[in-house]
Structures are given as structure tokens and as C-alpha cells.
Structure 1
């Protein structure tokens, strides 16, 4: 999915657009599967009770709330988080109802680093650290293909000089 062109300035082009790594979706999917399985098991247990229809409604309400809170919300949060590198800046946007973002002009970037654990190396993600003219370096976790992003961002910074 391309980043919206109306958010770019004239002459600026998107070089890379990514969402956080898919590993962030593993817990919500597991919660979904466990919730559906447990709710189905409990529904089968109460099916022969005189109050079964009320039990099913209660189970559906609790399971639905858990799925929305612990599955749908994290998936939407993942989908609405954008890490974008353009020819002029690095943009990070996140949020659904209240959006927040940060823009780092290429000319203000002093250094680019990355780090990843052995598990992150196996999964192909890591943390990207961008040091700009601000006080503290900015860290972006769960960046997919962090080594390639690091190299590409370093090239963009070198080209902007």
C-alpha cells in the first residue's frame, strides 16, 4: 500500500513504506484462537442446562469483548502504524483516533544504527536507532528487514549531503 501522496511535499518521493513486523500479530492471533476455543468448550458444557441461552449470551458477550480488546485493537494499531522513508525525510505515523507522528529531515540525521537479538535475526526484524540533532536518539522497534532499511537509510542520508 503506497503512502498517501498528499502528505508529501513537492518533489518528494517515497523510497520505502513499512508496517511493524508481523511478529506483533502473534499474541493477538493466539488470544483469538484461545478465546474462541474456550468459549466453544464452555458453550458445549452449558448446552443441556435450563439457562443455556443466557449462558451463551454471556459467553458471547465476554468472548466478543475480549476479541475486540485483545485482537482487533492490536491488529488495527499494527495496520495504522507506518514507517516511511522518503527522499527528504523519515516519517513515523501511528494511531487511529488520536494520531501521532514524527518527521526527521534527512539533513538532520547524524547516524543510523540497528540492533537485533538472535530471535529477531531469525524473524528478520530489529530495532532501528536514528540519531538526529535532537537530544536523544530515536528508536523504532520491530522494523522488518532492519539491516536493509539501515543500509538504504544510510544511502539516503549520504545522498542528501
Structure 2
């Protein structure tokens, strides 16, 4: 799903739009399977007892609450988290009921680094670290294809027409 163009400034276009890596969904899927398996097992233990209907309803309610809390909420959180690089800025948006946003103009980006552990390398994700004019570097975890994102962001920062210096010119002027 593309980032809405009506939220961008005129002349700005999206270069990269990513959600966090799918590894964030491993535990929610695991908990879904555990809750369904455990609920099915417990319902099967009850058999055809006359009093089993009330226990089945209680199991269904508890199972539904657990699935909402352990599976649906993390999936919705994952789906509503966006990491976007445009031609003008880096944007990070997250949240469902309480939305939080961060924008970094490309002209303010001083350096871009990435880190990924051995497991992150196997899964194809990592942490992107952006140092800007702010006091502390900003870390964005679980960025898919972090090396490609790093390269694209570096290119956008260095090719940004808003910069004061253009390669091949003297003192930034033609």
C-alpha cells in the first residue's frame, strides 16, 4: 500500500515505504497457534457433558481475548507502522489509537549507519541509525533490507537538490 500522496508536499515523492520486518509477527502467530491448540484440546476433554456448554463458552471468550491481545493487536501495530523515505525527508509513523510521527528533513541528516546481527542478516533486516542535527542518533529497528534502505537514503541525502554543495561545482555554485 502506497503512502497517501495528499500527505506529501508539492514536488515530494516517495522513494521507499516499508513496514517493520515480518519477524515481528513470529510470536503473534506462535501465540495464535498455541491458544487455538490449547482451546481445542480443552474443549475436547470436556466431551458431551451436559454442563460443558458453559465451559465451552468460557473457553471461547478467554481464547478470543487472548487472540485479540497476543495476535491481533501486534499485527495491527505492525501494519500501522511506516518507515518512509521521500525526496525531501525521512518519516516514521506508528500507532493505532495514538499516532506518533517523526520527520527528519534530508538536509539535516549528517550520517546514516546500519547494524544487523547474524540472525538479522539471515532474515534480511537490521537497525538503521540516522544521525541528524538532533542530540542523539535515531535508531529504527527491524527495517527490511536495511543495507538497500541505507544505500537509498545515502543517495537521497547526497543527491538532494536542496543541498548547498553540488559535486562538480565551485563553492556550491555553477
TM-score higher than 0.5: yes
For structure 2, the 5+ residue unaligned runs are 164-174
How much has 1:21 moved relative to structure 2? Answer: 0.1
Aligned to 2:145: 145
Could you tell me which residue of structure 1 aligns to residue 39 of structure 2? 39
Equivalent-residue separation in structure 1 for 2:105 and 2:119 (angstroms): 31
Partner of 2:77: 77
Deviations 1:124-146 (A, max 9, x none): 00000000000100000000000
Give 1:50-89 correspondences, 5 Å limit: 50-89=50-89
TM-score (norm 2): 0.91
Q: How far, CA to CA, are the matches of 1:71 and 1:122 in structure 2?
A: 24
Distance 2:131 2:50 in 1: 65
**Structure with max Cα Rg:** 2
How far apart, in 2, do the equivalents of 1:71 and 1:30 lie?
9
Give the 3-state SS of the residue equivalent to 1:135 in structure 2: coil
How big is the alpha-carbon RMSD for the aligned residues of Structure 1 and Structure 2?
0.6
What is the alpha-carbon distance in structure 1 between the residues aligned to residue 49 and residue 85 of structure 2? Answer: 59
Q: Report the secondary structure of 2:149's partner residue.
A: helix
Q: After the TM superposition, which residues 61-140 of structure 1 pair with which residues of structure 2 at under 5 Å, given as runs?
A: 61-140=61-140
Once the two structures are TM-superposed, the CA of residue 51 in structure 1 deviates from its matched residue by 1.3
Q: Where do 5+ consecutive residues of structure 1 fail to align?
A: none
Q: Which runs of 4+ in 1 moved over 3 A?
A: none
What's the TM-score once normalised by structure 1's chain length? Answer: 0.99
